[in-house]
Amino acid sequence: MSNSNQKESVRVLVTGFGPFPRGNGKNYAQNTSHEITKLLPHTLSANSRFNPTGARIDIINPTSADGQAVKVEYAHIRDYVSGLHDTHGNNVDLILHMGMADGWNFISCERRAYKQTFTSCWGAAGRILGLGRYYRIKDFAGETVDDAGECPWGEDVPMGLCTGFDVDLLVEDAGKTLKESFGRDVRGHEDGGTYCCGFIYYESLANKFTKGTSAEVLFCHVPGDLDQFSLKAGANSICAIIGAAASQILEERKHKAPQQPVVVGRQQEQQPIVQEEPGNSTVSAQQRQRAMEMMASGFGGERAIQATKYSA
């Protein structure tokens, strides 16, 4: 990494969820995603253990204090995420949401999420939810997404939105870091799911999409183990993921740097920087691959192409 990166910084905002229903009339009183936020440092210094870049990484952690976790309630999530993007959206380089997946022994980096009007015939959505309607599992308030009101995202917002990060590369780079430090296995995963985790991911991506800004949002599922050894391992893995994401952010900055003035005679003319509208950029090989993955999993046709156009 060049010396110029030593003067740069990457700002990351992290959120964790609070208690949620177990499905048997009881609740998960503690959510590991919230507990892990409590263990994250405020800064990952340049070229440190979890930060392979030459830039400082600052971690903004608004949900780490007791009572400040994101409520596992659809209506709350929609309002919270909207406010989060209004307040911080232009001031951070990455928004990383976390949620708990009890029974998993790895941390996932989710590739995409779906709108509340989405239906599917695969996985738990088809087997358990009948018609495969997403976000119909009752939240901590005993409500479904239908109780949160009509979907605010019109037809111009794709049915599926994916992160702008290269998830495969991110997982690979985080794994390299964790070979030297104790943590949990990190894997790519296809979507954020049919509950509040997938819902917050789509809401966050949709806020980015409608504002015409890059999709620098991630969602990570963390295991449900609450012992301190496992929580520390989870925090280390999240730090490694943040460091890997920062590498991609800094690489993207190189390509988005303003062009130098073109000297014409004795005068300088600044070349205009053209901002492309979402969905109008050239489709890359990576985006085509995402489209094929989505079509192979049953999300086909033009909508799959539209969903992949929104990536950094």
Say which CATH number the domain at 184 has: 3.40.630.20
What pLDDT shows up at residue 126?
53
What pLDDT shows up at residue 311?
32
What pLDDT shows up at residue 199?
98
Each residue's pLDDT, cut to its tens digit, for the chain (312 residues) gives 344 444 589 999 999 999 999 977 899 999 999 999 999 999 999 999 999 999 999 999 999 999 999 999 999 999 999 999 999 988 999 999 999 999 999 999 999 999 999 988 766 555 555 557 899 999 999 999 999 999 999 999 999 999 999 999 999 999 999 998 999 999 999 999 999 999 999 999 999 999 998 889 999 999 999 999 999 999 999 999 999 999 999 999 988 754 434 333 333 333 333 333 334 334 445 544 444 444 333 333 333 333 333 332
What pLDDT shows up at residue 270?
38
DSSP the chain: --GGGGG-EEEEEEE-B--EE-SSS-EESS-HHHHHHTT--SEE-TT-TT--SSSEEEEE-TT-STT-SBPS-HHHHHHHHHHHHHHHTTT-SEEEEEEEETT-SEEEEEEEEE-TT-B-SSHHHHHTSTTTBTT-S--TTS--GGGG-S----TTS-SEEE-SS-HHHHHHHHHHHHTSS---EEEEEEE--SSHHHHHHHHHHHHHHHHT----EEEEEEE---SHHHHHHHHHHHHHHHHHHHHHHHHHHHHHSPPPPEEETTEEEPPPPPPPPTT-SPPPHHHHHHHHHHHHTT--HHHHHHHHHS--
What pLDDT shows up at residue 283?
43
What pLDDT shows up at residue 307?
39
What pLDDT shows up at residue 95?
98
Q: Could you tell me the residue range of the domain that residue 174 belongs to? A: 3-309
What is the tally of structural domains in the chain? 1
